[in-house]
Copies of this chain bind each other. A is one copy, B any other.
Amino acid sequence: MKSRLKLLRAEHGLTQADLGERVGVSRQAINAIETGKFEPSLGLAWRLARHFGHPIEQIFDFSDELEGEQP
C-alpha cells in the first residue's frame, strides 16, 4: 500500500502533530502510516480523506496488491 498522505500534508503546511490532532490520533500514528509501518483503520482513512477533500482511493492505493481475485 502506498499513500499520498505525506504529500497532501506538506501541501497543506501541516505538521504530523497538527494532522494527528485534527483527525483524532497521536502524531506517532500519523508518522507510522507515512513511513509505512502500518495501515490506517477505515475510520481514520475516512477522516483523513474527508479532511483533505479527496476520495479514500485517491489517497491510499492498494492496486499493487492484487492477489487471487478471479474477475
Residue numbers of A with Cβ under 8 A of B are 1, 22-24, 39-43, 45-47, 49-51, 55-57, 60, 62, 65, 67-70
A39 to B44, CA, bound (A): 11
Complex A-B, nearest 4 residue pairs according to Cβ-Cβ distance, in ascending order: A46-B62, A56-B56, A42-B45, A42-B42
Most chain B CB inside 10 Å of its own CB: which residue of A40, A55, A62, A65: A62
A55 to B57, CA, bound (A): 7
A68 to B51, CA, bound (A): 12
On whether the beta carbons of B22 and A51 are closer than 8 Å, the reply is no
A46 to B41, CA, bound (A): 11
Which chain B residues border A40 with CB–CB below 8 Å? 42
